[in-house]
Amino acid sequence: MSALLEVRDLKVRYGGNLALSVGALSLGHGEIIGVVGGNGAGKSTLVNAVAGWSRGAPRVEGSVQLGGRDISALPTHRRVREGLLLVPEGKLIFGTMTVEENLAEGIDDPGEGRKPYSVEEIYALFPRLAERRGHLGSQLSGGERQMLGIGRALRLAPRALLLDEPSIGLAPKLVRTVLQSVSDLRAHGLSVLLVEQNVKAAIEVVDRVLLLERGQVVLEGTAAEMRNNPRIAEAYLGAQRA
């Protein structure tokens, strides 16, 4: 089976500094890959570069293929329309708009094999959002914002979902809820690239793990292989200390 998302020779530079260099990365259909590593390892840089997005102005080289089609030359909003959805770290929802308005932008005719979630389906997935549908984005808690960010992406019929630190700043119980919903999405055929500092929680839901250090992939393997790998444990502890 060919991979859904294929990344080749991805290099990201800020100014003159090489911040990320990934030779090859492929995400299969219905697969969840966890990207782990310490602070500044390049995890966010990786998913941002794949999406062709950044709040800064990096120089990005390399090719990104989605479903066998090279999308490297497409502007970010077109990649989104092709089904490559990034839920960024930090500010990920519109604070001046209500939950309902945040979810309003859908995609009508996404093409073969893609299905946009309806607003009701998203409320079913995250009942908490349904209760808060009239609230402004800025009034939501951290966990609710993550749910809304993911919900906003689901409305656009993603084929691959790039999630950047969905558990950051959340209480342990919420972390499990959010990650569990990510796992549920896979059951519906979605592929996910999941950036997580919380290695211990992430490893429970992912199929494969990618360890990044200083902008390079230093370790790669199935979740089962990696669970007891000392370097992963180290990364986990590092994240705990950070």
Partner 1 sequence: MNLGQQILNGLVLGHSYALIAIGWTVLLGVARLVNFAHGQMYMMGAFVAWMVMAKVGLPYPLALVTSVLAGVLIGFVMQEVMLGLTLRQDLVSIMIVTLGFGYVLHGVAAIAFGSTGQILDTPFSTINVYWNDIWFTGQDLFIIAVTVAFFIALQLVLAKSRLGRLARMVAEDPKLAILAGVDVRRVYFGVFAFQGAAVALAGAIVGPRTPILTSMGFEEVIITFFVVVLGGIGSVLGSYLAGLSLGLFTAFFGALVSPAYTTPAAFLVLIAVLVLRPGGLAAKPGGA
Partner 2 sequence: MATVFGTIAVLALAVAGFFVPAAFGGGGAVYSACVLIAIFAVMAYGLDLIVSDLGEVSLGHPVFFASGAYATALLSTEAGLSPVLTFVASLAVAMALALLVGFITLRLREFVFSLVTYAVTVVALTLAENWSALGGSDGIAGIPLFTVDAGIASFRAVTDRDLWPVAYGLLLATLWLVSAFRRSRLGNAALKVHLNPRLATMSGIDPQKTRLMVFLVSAPMTAAAGWLYAYQRAYISADLLSPYFLILMLTAVVIIGRRLLLAPLMGVALILVQEKFFSFGGDVDRIILGCALIVSLAFLPGGIAGTARALAARIRRSDDPARTNAKNEGAT
Contact set with partner 1 (CB under 8 A) = 51, 53, 55, 75-77, 80-81, 85-88, 91-97, 101, 104-105, 107, 137-138, 152, 156
Question: x-or-dash pattern for partner 2, window 65-104, by CB under 8 A?
Answer: -------xxxxxxxx-------------------------
Contacts of 120 (CB under 8 A, 6+ apart): none
Find the shortest distance in angstroms from Cβ 58 to partner 2: 7
DSSP-H helix ranges across 70-218: 76-82, 99-102, 119-125, 127-131, 142-154, 172-187, 199-202
Q: Cα–Cα distance between 42 and 54 in angstroms, integer?
A: 13
Count of residues that interact with partner 2, criterion CB under 8 A = 16
Residue 88 binds which entry of partner 1, partner 2, none, CB below 5-8 Å type-dependent: partner 1
- Which CB atom, from 76 or from 181, has the smaller least distance to partner 2? 76
Residue 138 binds which entry of partner 1, partner 2, none, CB below 5-8 Å type-dependent: partner 1
- Which CB atom, from 38 or from 67, has the smaller least distance to partner 1? 67
Q: Cα–Cα distance between 188 and 171 in angstroms, integer?
A: 26
The answer to whether 192 touches 32, Cβ cutoff 8 Å, is: yes
Contact set with partner 2 (CB under 8 A): 52-54, 57-61, 72-79
